[in-house]
Amino acid sequence: MQAHYFELLSTKHRRDLLHSLSTGNRQRVATRDSDPTKTSIRLVHVDLPLLEDHELITWDRENHTIATGPKYAALAPLLDWLQMQSTIRN
C-alpha cells in the first residue's frame, strides 16, 4: 500500500466522496457554478484535482461528473476499512 493514500483519505469529505463511487456509477458533483459554498470551491480547486492527479477518479468537468479512476481499486480495501471503523464508532 502506498503511504500517500493516507494523506488522500485524511479528510472526511474526500473519504465520503470516494466511498460514494464504490457502486461503480458516475456521480454528479456540485461545483462553484451550481453551489458557490466554501465546500464546493475546495472540491473544485483542491479535492477533485488531487484525486484526479492520483488517478483515483476521472472527472468530467463539462458534465460535472466523477467516476472511479484506474487506481481506485488499489485504494478500495483501505476505504472500506475506514468506513467500517467509522460505522463501529458511531
Helices 12-20, 72-89: crossing angle, 10 deg rounding: 120
Provide the residue range defining the domain that includes 13.
4-89
- Residue 56 has what pLDDT? 94
Q: Is a pLDDT exceeding 60 seen at residue 59?
A: yes
Q: Give the confidence band of 40 by pLDDT, cuts at 50, 70, 90.
A: confident
- What are the pLDDT digits (tens) for 6-22? 888 888 888 888 888 88
- Residue 86 has what pLDDT? 72
H-helix or E-strand spanning residue 8? helix 4-8
- Residue 53 has what pLDDT? 95
Q: For the chain, what is the domain count?
A: 1
- What are the pLDDT digits (tens) for 60-86? 988 889 999 999 998 888 888 877 777
CATH of residue 42: 1.10.10
| Distance separating alpha carbons of residues 47 and 52, to the nearest angstrom | 8
